[in-house]
Amino acid sequence: MSLGPYASFIVTSYALVAAVVLLLIVWIIADYRRQQARLKEIEASGVMRRSGRSAADIR
């Protein structure tokens, strides 16, 4: 597969899309872990939801 004289433009485009999509995925996973950790921390201090169920339990 030859990309011709404009290969750098094509490769940069695909690399940039891959990088941004990867960044989005990592950001969302990290945010999820951060919220779960904060919920567990608060619940460990004795504060519970009115329903009595754990806020970190999402199944």
Q: Could you list the residues that contact another protein (CB under 8 A)? A: 1-7, 9-10, 12-14, 16-17, 20-21, 23-25, 28-29, 31-32, 35-36, 38-39, 42-43, 45, 47, 49, 53, 55-56, 58-59
The alpha carbon dihedral of 21, 27, 33, 36 has a sign of negative
Rounded to a whole number of angstroms, the minimum distance from the CB of residue 52 to another protein is: 13
Q: What's the half-sphere exposure (Cβ side, CA atoms, 13 Å) at 37?
A: 6
Q: Cβ distance 38 to 47 under 8 Å?
A: no
Rounded to a whole number of angstroms, the minimum distance from the CB of residue 22 to another protein is: 11
